[in-house]
């Protein structure tokens, strides 16, 4: 960020926060993906120093995820619903300040890295407590229900979230153009065993180990809201519990982090309704199918030459393992 942009950002933040004397200390890039950038922002105000994160779009923006204003609205809805998120503070839709819309949120501590957190049984106050807490977080997210005037970009809820998910994955397979009979077998099994639709709730759609910021005391933030949509809340429980998202710690069925029973118990205590285990299992099959389709699309970016990368290339080689699991799950379905 150049000096001029920094000056404009200072003026804007001073006005937004109502602190005319606000000064920007350090600005440091935290992470930069193909879609978003996060900057650590230290500011000194009249009363105190504050540690914020500025989130903005990278130059090449993909259409698949929500825009920054939409993500800000989701964060605010989640925060109001009692979900543990970084508190959203200010939204700037004016691209003239730093070159793209951005929002500012509180900076929280903790670690999210999947392979690390599944090995640390003390994180989140111990495995039982952590899983129970994750259940409560999900129940709070699912308490957000349509219609919501503040979330118009989510569109109308699907009449049947399960069948809509199957149709979406089939469309993506067709667009990719590579025949994948094992994935078709899994999708067909899912279609034949699809549970009846339930009233729609807000589904996070990427609530898994790796997107959950944790420290010794508990969850410090649920991250990455860009795929949130109206749907069946069991999809989130299934995505978290799916074997492919346990980072090798398969015995701890809630994301490699803790026991499934504790997750369900926390969810039931917060929502007042028991978890439908069979429905969660159906969404676990869907989770494997969804991850396989995403992995195929990522590998295609390497294969097509759009982005030559060993990491993307190896992501494609996750698919056979997912297929092996899908066949076993389809048999049980």
Partner 1 sequence: MLEKPGGADLLATARDLLLAELLPALPPDKVFAARMVANAMAIAARGLAVEAQAEAALQARLAALVGEGADPLARLAAGIRAGRFDGDEAVRNWLRDAARLRARVSAPRALG
Query: Judged by CB under 8 A, which of 31, 156, 311, 332 binds partner 1?
Result: 311
Among 6, 145, 188, 308, binds partner 1 (CB under 8 A): 188
Q: Three-state DSSP class for 205?
A: coil
62 or 327, CB closer to partner 1?
327
Residue with tokens 């994948």: 180
Which of residues 206 and 323 has its CB atom nearest to partner 1 in the complex?
323
For the chain, percent helix, then strand, then coil, each to nearest 5?
45, 15, 35
Which residue stretch of 55-63, 177-185, 207-215, 258-266 sits at the interface with partner 1 (rule: CB under 8 A)? 177-185
Q: Which region holds residue 276: left if phi is over 0, alpha if psi is between -120 and 50, else beta?
A: beta
**Residue 297 or residue 321: which is nearer to partner 1 going by CB?**
321
**2 near partner 1 (CB under 8 A):** no
Angle formed by the axes of helices 277-303 and 234-241, nearest 10°: 60
Residue 324 in contact with partner 1, rule: CB under 8 A: yes
Which lies closer to partner 1 via its Cβ, residue 79 or residue 180? 180
Q: Closer to partner 1 by CB, 183 or 237: give it.
A: 183
- Which of 185, 194, 198, 218 is close enough to bind partner 1 by CB under 8 A? 185
Q: How far is CA 333 from CA 185, 249, 278, 316, in A?
A: 12, 24, 9, 26
Other beta carbons within 10 angstroms of residue 247's beta carbon come to: 20
Q: Binding to partner 1 by residue 33, rule CB under 8 A?
A: no
Closest Cα partner for 203 from 238, 167, 248? 238
β-sheet bridge partners, residue 231 = 201
Q: Binding to partner 1 by residue 155, rule CB under 8 A? A: no
Contact between 180 and partner 1 by CB under 8 A: the answer reads yes
Residue 44 engages partner 1 in binding (rule: CB under 8 A): no
C-beta of 315: minimal distance to partner 1 in Å? 10
Q: Is the peptide bond before 147 cis (omega within 30 degrees of 0)?
A: yes
Identify residues 81-110 at the interface with partner 1 (CB under 8 A).
none
Nearer to partner 1, 54 or 293 (CB): 293
Size of the site for partner 1 (CB under 8 A): 23
Residue 193 half-sphere exposure, CB side, CA atoms within 13 Å?
A: 20
Applying CB under 8 A, which of residues 54, 187, 222, 240 lies at the interface with partner 1?
Answer: 187
Round to whole Å and give the CA distance between 127 and 133. 10
Report how far residue 256's alpha carbon sits from residue 265's, in angstroms, rounded to the nearest whole number: 17
Q: Which residues bind partner 1 (CB under 8 A)?
A: 170, 179-182, 184-185, 187-188, 192, 310-311, 313-314, 317-321, 323-325, 327
């Amino acid at each position: 960020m150049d000096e001029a942009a920094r000056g404009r950002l200072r003026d804007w933040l001073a006005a937004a926060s109502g602190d005319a004397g606000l000064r920007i200390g350090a600005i440091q890039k935290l992470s930069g993906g193909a879609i978003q950038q996060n900057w650590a922002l230290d500011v000194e105000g009249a009363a105190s120093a504050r540690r914020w994160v500025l989130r903005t779009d990278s130059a090449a923006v993909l259409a698949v995820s929500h825009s920054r204003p939409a993500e800000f609205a989701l964060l605010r809805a989640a925060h109001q619903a009692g979900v543990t998120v970084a508190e959203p503070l200010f939204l700037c839709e004016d691209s003239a300040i730093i070159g793209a819309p951005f929002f500012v949120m509180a900076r929280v501590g903790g670690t999210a890295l999947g392979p690390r957190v599944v090995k640390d049984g003390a994180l989140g106050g111990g495995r039982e407590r952590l899983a129970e807490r994750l259940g409560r977080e999900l129940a709070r997210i699912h308490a957000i229900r349509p219609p919501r005037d503040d979330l118009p970009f989510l569109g109308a809820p699907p009449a049947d979230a399960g069948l809509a998910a199957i149709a979406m994955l089939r469309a993506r397979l067709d667009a990719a153009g590579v025949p994948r009979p094992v994935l078709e077998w899994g999708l067909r099994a899912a279609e034949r065993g699809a549970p009846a639709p339930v009233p729609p709730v807000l589904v996070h759609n990427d609530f898994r180990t790796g997107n959950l910021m944790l420290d010794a005391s508990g969850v410090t933030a649920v991250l990455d809201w860009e795929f949130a949509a109206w749907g069946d809340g069991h999809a989130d429980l299934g995505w978290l519990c799916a074997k492919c998202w346990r980072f090798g710690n398969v015995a701890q069925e809630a994301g490699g982090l803790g026991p499934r029973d504790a997750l369900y118990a926390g969810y039931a205590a917060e929502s007042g309704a028991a978890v439908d285990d069979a429905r969660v299992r159906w969404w676990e099959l869907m989770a494997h199918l969804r991850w396989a389709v995403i992995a195929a699309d990522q590998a295609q970016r390497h294969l097509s030459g759009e982005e030559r990368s060993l990491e993307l290339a190896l992501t494609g080689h996750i698919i056979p393992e997912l297929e092996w699991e899908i066949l076993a799950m389809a048999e049980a379905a």
